Amino acid sequence: MKLHIDRELPVPLGVQVRGLIEYGIACGELSPGERLPSVRELADTLKVAPMTVAQVYRGLREAGLIETRSGLGSFVGGDRGLGGRPQAQMADVQRRLDHLIDDAAAIGLKPADFAGMVQARLARREQRRRARSIIMLGLFADATRAYARAIQARLPSGVTVEPLTLDELKTSEPALQRVAEAELVVTFPNRQREIAALLPESRVVAIRFIPSEETRRALAGLDPMTRLGIASRFPDFLPIMKSGVQRFAPHVRSIVAAALGTPALDAVIDQSDVLVLSTGAESVLPRLRPEVRAIEYRHSPDPVDVDQQIVPLLQPGAANVSEPNAAEPSEVLP
């Protein structure tokens, strides 16, 4: 993916750079294991300060979206589902296990009895998971339901995919229980580490999301003279969203863009014949003139990732562990 910032967008350059990389991974524009330019190379290419790029890279590493290999540079995280577990997370599990063993010893529980309790709990959890259920964890209810249906269509019979939003997960005990009984949880690459921290006992897998066929067709069919506006709920998603719109509608020359909650959005709405809005930006619809057409920039699960990242985990003997991606993400895609 060629990274390109848009100085016409009312979005800070550092936010643009981070968004291009973060959502580039989630949208499949950047592939696992792909080498990123060095700080100096990217700063020179984008004509921004090296400090800006360095801060972006630091934030992406801390979020677990990229990794730095000594002497080689920075890379998009490689394995989203079946790879090795980060040492820090393994050490954390071991520390918690040691504390649990100490607690058991403190109440006089014999080692054999403690081991039996652990085995019984594991067997109970495995029995629950035999229902072969998967949770699709997203941000917005309607979009998440569509994601779940798309994943369901590619899975073996007997496996169900239940949609669930992050808000529901954080506020509903029944939702937490459903997640605990699910065989695995599917989410966006840039949310995987966060979700894995919330659900330490669940297997969390990230897949990429690509612009849906309906979105691509709608953009390709626009009149070349259309005055096209773009509205994103998330400012950092705006650069890659605009790039995607330009790719699917290269014949449209008049394009303006802004994020929700910014002064520039009023001008975008006023100047547009057609408004492309990100998922989650529906609040802007009542502000449109009756003649303005709205197109949702909807994404869909990458079918290749469904086949390669989810289906293998449903096979007998697949490792039953949570594998947060130390280096991978999009909403999060909108």
Tell me the average pLDDT of the chain: 86
Three-state DSSP at 207 gives coil
Confidence of residue 255 (pLDDT cuts 50, 70, 90): very high
Note the pLDDT of residue 278. Answer: 96
Three-state DSSP at 296 gives strand
Confidence of residue 33 (pLDDT cuts 50, 70, 90): confident
DSSP string of 257-275, one letter each residue: EEETTSTHHHHHHHH-SEE
**pLDDT (tens digit, 9 = 90+) per residue, 38-74?**
999 999 999 999 999 999 999 999 888 899 888 889 9
Note the pLDDT of residue 128. Answer: 52
- For 284-294, what is the mean pLDDT? 96
Whether residue 322 has pLDDT greater than 80: no
**CA–CA distance, 43 with 56 (Å, rounded to integer):** 11
**Six-digit token pair at 130?**
């035999």
DSSP H stretches of helix in the chain? 13-26, 39-46, 50-62, 87-106, 111-129, 141-152, 166-171, 173-181, 192-198, 213-220, 238-248, 264-271, 303-305
CATH of 87-210+303-314, one of 3.40.50.2300, 3.40.50.1820, 1.10.10.10, 3.40.50.300: 3.40.50.2300
- Which residue would you say has higher pLDDT here, 271 or 126? 271
- The class level of CATH for 13-76 reads mainly alpha
Q: Please give the model's pTM, rounded to 2 decimal places.
A: 0.73
Domain with CATH 1.10.10.10 in the chain: 13-76
**Six-digit token pair at 332?**
């999060």
Domain with CATH 3.40.50.980 in the chain: 213-297
Confidence of residue 326 (pLDDT cuts 50, 70, 90): very low
Q: Are 158 and 314 in contact (CB under 8 A)?
A: no
Note the pLDDT of residue 80. Answer: 47
Note the pLDDT of residue 78. Answer: 62
**CA–CA distance, 262 with 234 (Å, rounded to integer):** 11
Note the pLDDT of residue 64. Answer: 84
Q: Which residues contact 256 (CB under 8 A, 6 or more apart)?
A: 227, 228, 229, 230, 267, 268, 271, 272
Whether residue 105 has pLDDT greater than 60: yes
Q: Among the listed ranges 35-44, 56-65, 93-102, 114-123, which one has the minimum average pLDDT value? A: 114-123
Q: What is the CATH number assigned to the segment(s) 213-297? A: 3.40.50.980
Domain with CATH 3.40.50.2300 in the chain: 87-210+303-314
Whether residue 240 has pLDDT greater than 80: yes
**pLDDT (tens digit, 9 = 90+) per residue, 209-228?**
999 999 999 999 999 999 99
Three-state DSSP at 153 gives coil
Confidence of residue 139 (pLDDT cuts 50, 70, 90): very high
**pLDDT (tens digit, 9 = 90+) per residue, 181-209?**
898 999 998 888 889 888 988 999 999 99
